[in-house]
Protein backbone atom coordinates (compact mmCIF):
# COMPACT_ATOMS: atom_id res chain seq x y z
CA UNK A 1 0.00 0.00 0.00
CA UNK A 2 1.02 3.61 -0.47
CA UNK A 3 2.98 5.05 2.44
CA UNK A 4 5.07 8.11 3.08
CA UNK A 5 7.12 8.65 6.21
CA UNK A 6 9.01 11.76 7.21
CA UNK A 7 12.09 11.60 9.38
CA UNK A 8 14.50 14.14 10.77
CA UNK A 9 15.54 15.99 13.89
CA UNK A 10 12.86 17.26 16.21
CA UNK A 11 14.95 20.19 17.39
CA UNK A 12 17.00 22.59 15.34
CA UNK A 13 18.90 25.62 16.58
CA UNK A 14 18.18 29.04 15.10
CA UNK A 15 20.25 29.85 12.01
CA UNK A 16 20.99 26.15 11.45
CA UNK A 17 19.93 23.91 8.58
CA UNK A 18 16.96 21.53 8.63
CA UNK A 19 17.32 18.23 6.83
CA UNK A 20 14.29 15.99 6.41
CA UNK A 21 13.77 12.74 4.54
CA UNK A 22 10.54 11.41 3.09
CA UNK A 23 10.70 7.67 2.51
CA UNK A 24 7.96 6.34 0.27
CA UNK A 25 6.64 2.88 -0.50
CA UNK A 26 3.90 1.47 -2.67
CA UNK A 27 4.60 3.77 -5.61
CA UNK A 28 7.46 5.03 -7.73
CA UNK A 29 8.97 8.49 -7.44
CA UNK A 30 9.37 8.44 -11.22
CA UNK A 31 5.59 8.23 -11.64
CA UNK A 32 4.25 10.71 -9.07
CA UNK A 33 5.03 14.19 -7.80
CA UNK A 34 5.83 14.57 -4.10
CA UNK A 35 5.18 17.78 -2.20
CA UNK A 36 6.43 19.16 1.08
CA UNK A 37 3.78 20.98 3.15
CA UNK A 38 4.24 22.46 6.59
CA UNK A 39 1.92 23.57 9.37
CA UNK A 40 2.85 25.89 12.24
CA UNK A 41 1.29 24.88 15.56
CA UNK A 42 -2.42 25.66 15.56
CA UNK A 43 -2.29 27.20 12.08
CA UNK A 44 -3.01 26.30 8.48
CA UNK A 45 -1.16 24.53 5.71
CA UNK A 46 1.68 26.04 3.70
CA UNK A 47 3.02 24.47 0.51
CA UNK A 48 6.80 24.51 0.47
CA UNK A 49 7.85 22.83 -2.72
CA UNK A 50 7.59 19.89 -5.07
CA UNK A 51 9.72 17.14 -6.52
CA UNK A 52 8.24 16.29 -9.89
CA UNK A 53 8.21 12.72 -11.23
CA UNK A 54 10.84 13.68 -13.79
CA UNK A 55 13.17 15.23 -11.23
CA UNK A 56 12.19 18.88 -11.73
CA UNK A 57 11.57 20.98 -8.66
CA UNK A 58 9.32 23.93 -7.79
CA UNK A 59 9.52 26.07 -4.70
CA UNK A 60 7.39 28.52 -2.78
CA UNK A 61 8.93 31.86 -3.66
CA UNK A 62 8.78 32.88 0.00
CA UNK A 63 11.16 30.03 0.85
CA UNK A 64 13.07 29.60 -2.40
CA UNK A 65 16.28 31.26 -1.26
CA UNK A 66 16.54 28.87 1.71
CA UNK A 67 15.02 25.66 0.38
CA UNK A 68 16.31 22.72 -1.61
CA UNK A 69 14.46 19.53 -2.54
CA UNK A 70 16.21 16.50 -4.01
CA UNK A 71 15.69 12.77 -4.27
CA UNK A 72 17.28 9.35 -4.49
CA UNK A 73 14.99 7.16 -6.57
CA UNK A 74 17.02 4.03 -5.77
CA UNK A 75 16.18 4.50 -2.11
CA UNK A 76 12.65 5.82 -2.68
CA UNK A 77 13.50 8.97 -0.79
CA UNK A 78 12.84 12.69 -1.21
CA UNK A 79 14.91 15.15 0.76
CA UNK A 80 14.22 18.63 2.05
CA UNK A 81 16.94 20.99 3.17
CA UNK A 82 16.20 24.44 4.48
CA UNK A 83 18.82 26.77 5.87
CA UNK A 84 18.82 29.78 8.16
CA UNK A 85 16.01 28.45 10.29
CA UNK A 86 14.13 30.83 12.56
CA UNK A 87 11.56 30.29 15.29
CA UNK A 88 8.68 30.82 12.87
CA UNK A 89 9.85 27.74 10.98
CA UNK A 90 8.62 25.69 13.92
CA UNK A 91 5.85 23.32 12.92
CA UNK A 92 4.91 19.95 11.51
CA UNK A 93 6.40 19.06 8.16
CA UNK A 94 4.56 16.68 5.84
CA UNK A 95 5.39 15.02 2.55
CA UNK A 96 2.48 14.15 0.31
CA UNK A 97 1.90 12.31 -2.93
CA UNK A 98 0.19 14.22 -5.71
CA UNK A 99 -2.48 12.54 -7.78
CA UNK A 100 -4.65 15.46 -8.83
CA UNK A 101 -4.79 16.29 -5.13
CA UNK A 102 -2.55 15.23 -2.25
CA UNK A 103 -4.00 11.75 -1.90
CA UNK A 104 -1.55 10.34 0.62
CA UNK A 105 0.19 12.17 3.46
CA UNK A 106 2.92 11.13 5.80
CA UNK A 107 2.40 11.19 9.55
CA UNK A 108 4.40 14.41 9.72
CA UNK A 109 7.47 15.32 11.70
CA UNK A 110 7.35 18.03 14.32
CA UNK A 111 10.30 20.42 14.08
CA UNK A 112 11.03 22.92 16.83
CA UNK A 113 13.45 25.74 16.20
CA UNK A 114 14.91 26.77 19.52
CA UNK A 115 18.22 27.30 21.25
Partner 1 sequence: DVVMTQTPVSLSVSLGGQVSISCRSSQSLVHNNGNTYLSWYLQKPGQSPQLLIYKVSNRFSGISDRFSGSGSGTDFTLKISRVEPDDLGVYYCGQGTQYPLTFGSGTKLEIK
CA-to-CA distance for 32 and 99, rounded, in angstroms? 7
Judged by CB under 8 A, the residue of 23, 60, 68, 90 near partner 1 is 60
Judged by CB under 8 A, the residue of 27, 32, 47, 53 near partner 1 is 47
Position 114 contacts partner 1 (CB under 8 A) = no
CA-to-CA distance for 98 and 18, rounded, in angstroms? 23
**Stretch in the footprint of partner 1 (CB under 8 A) among 7-15, 24-32, 67-75, 105-113:** 105-113
Q: How far is the CB of 45 from partner 1 (least distance, A)?
A: 4
DSSP collapsed to 3 states, 62-110: CCCCCEEEEEEHHHCEEEEEECCCCHHHCEEEEEEEECCCEEEECCCEE
Q: Which is nearer to partner 1, 79 or 104 (CB)?
A: 104
Q: How far is the CB of 15 from partner 1 (least distance, A)?
A: 25
SS3 state at 11 = strand
Position 101 contacts partner 1 (CB under 8 A) = yes
Position 98 contacts partner 1 (CB under 8 A) = yes
Exposed, middle or buried, 91 (CB in 10 Å: 0-12/13-18/19+)? buried
Position 8 contacts partner 1 (CB under 8 A) = no
Amino acid sequence: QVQLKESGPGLVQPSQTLSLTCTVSGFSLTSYNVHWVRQPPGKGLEWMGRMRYNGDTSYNSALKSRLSISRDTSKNQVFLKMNSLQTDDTGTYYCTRDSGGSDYWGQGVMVTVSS
